[in-house]
Structures are given as C-alpha cells and as structure tokens.
Amino acid sequence: LSPSKFLNILHKCNENPETKILDDITEEIYEGVASGNDDVFYFTEEEIDMLKLERNLLFPIIMGKEIKRWQFQDETKYVILYPYDLATTDLVDIKTIKNKYPKIHNYLQSRKQDLSGRDYFDETGKEWYELWRPREAHLFTSHQIICPYVSNHNNFCIAPRNYIFNTTVYGIVSHDYDVYYLLAVLNSKLLEFLLKLISVKQRGGYFRYATDFLKNLPIHIKPKNFKTKLRFLTHQI
C-alpha cells in the first residue's frame, strides 16, 4: 500500500470517538529484562539441582519463541536468578542473600569475576551482582498480555504471573481495560494487517512487535455487552 492509502485506513480506524490507540489505554508497553550476562543468570532445572540453589530468587523466564497465539504453553527451558523484591523492585542486599540463600550467595561469589568490571555498573553505582536492566519487578506480577519481539503474525497471549521474560518478549499492562478483550482485538486480522504496515519487516517474512509499533495500534472500545461476549469467547479458546 502507498503511504496515502495506509493513512486513509488508519484514519478510518481512528475517526470513531470510541477508538483509542493502545498507548492511551495501557500503563506499560515494555521490553523484558536484560541480564547483562545470561551465562551467569540463566539456569536449567538440572543446574539448579546440581548447585542446590534456593528457589526464592529463581523464576521461570519466557523467551519469544516459546509464546503461542491465545494461550501460553509452558515450554520454558530456563530459570533466571532475579535478586529483586517483586513488590518493590528493591535489590536484595548481598548480606541478606548470604544469610537467607547461602547456596545462591556461594554461586554469585564464584562468578563475581565474570560480573565485575562492567563500566556502566561502576559509573551508576549498581551492585556487581545486579541485572543490566531488571525492569520494574512488580510488572511481572501483573495480569498482562505478552508477545514475541519478532514474529510472522500476531502472537499475543496472557502471561502467567510471577514469570520473568527477557528482551525477546514485550509486555502490555492495562489496569482499566479487560485483558481478554484486548487480547481478542490484538489477535485480530485487522490489527495484524495494520501492524505489518507500520512495523519493520525482517528477513523471512517476520516483523518487529516493539513498543514504537504496538503503542499506535487503534483499539475500538466496544459497548460493554459486546466486550463481555468477546471476553467469554476468548476464554473458550
């Protein structure tokens, strides 16, 4: 489509006063965590058992290739060491880790050389055992929608609570609008068509599903009875 035809389609989607862009009806559209060193912070279940690590600071981590349309199929292969309080995002201090989680403390000390010397950490006062970009931890306890960063079609689903996801996944948090209604709209053919018009095409027919593109998607706020029906149908999938 030419730019003028695309703009005409987008205008028609937005001309209804009950239509809002996704950015206006969400609290967050965000990329997942960046550990800064996956080799240190990611574990398989076998490695956890071998090291006898305490589970309190370990969480399943979702990657984009594991996300399926509509429903999340738990095929996570890795667990991430996430040394933050999920309620406050405060870093758990190293003394607390030593006292409460001695196996994790011993492991971190054994990998300290791999984590030390990161210039950005030294300049910003971050502790040596922190993640590069942890995000706000409370987001991972939210009822939210997730999608892979790169996909060949709209692949949205509801995220399980208390799962972390990495930079190959984007999260969408909305407290004021029903997530099952939003899920149905985001997985629609119309929004897939629109997103592919505004996104960056990758090799092999894939597209980027990043904040810059997701935030501009038009969402029609249907009457309550319609949303209730669509929500019900989404639950049946």
Q: In what order do the strands lie in the sheet with 145-148?
A: 28-31, 169-173, 145-148, 157-158
Is 3 a residue whose pLDDT tops 60?
no
Q: In this model, does residue 111 exceed pLDDT 90?
A: yes
Q: Cα–Cα distance between 220 and 38 in angstroms, integer? A: 40
Neighbouring C-beta atoms of residue 86, cutoff 10 Å: 17
Number of domains forming the structure of the chain: 1
3-class DSSP assignment, residue 114: helix
- Say whether pLDDT at 236 is over 60: no
Helices (H) and strands (E) in the chain, counts: 11, 12
Mean pLDDT of the region 113-120: 82
Q: How confident is the model at residue 106 (pLDDT cuts 50, 70, 90)?
A: very high
Report d(CA 156, CA 86) in Å as an integer: 24
Structural domain span for residue 36: 3-236
pTM of the model: 0.88
Residue pointed to by tokens 């950005």: 120
Give the torsion through C-alpha atoms of 222, 144, 133, 153, to 10 deg.
Answer: -70
**Domain harbouring 58, CATH code:** 3.90.220.10
d(CA 78, CA 2): 43
pLDDT tens profile 130-176: 999 999 999 999 999 999 999 999 999 999 999 999 999 999 999 98
pLDDT value of position 186: 96
Structure tokens at 75: 């095929």
> Are residues 129 and 36 in contact, defined by beta-carbon separation less than 8 angstroms?
no
**pLDDT of residue 203 exceeding 70:** yes
**11-15, 93-97, 125-129, 227-231 — which one is most confidently predicted on average?**
93-97
Is residue 89 within 8 A of residue 137, CB to CB? The reply is yes
Mean pLDDT of the chain: 88
**Per-residue pLDDT band at 71 (split at 50, 70, 90):** confident
| Spatial CA neighbour of 12 closest among 223, 227, 190, 237 | 190
Task: Read off the DSSP letter of residue 128.
Answer: T
Share above pLDDT 90 across residues of the chain, in percent, rounded to a whole number = 68
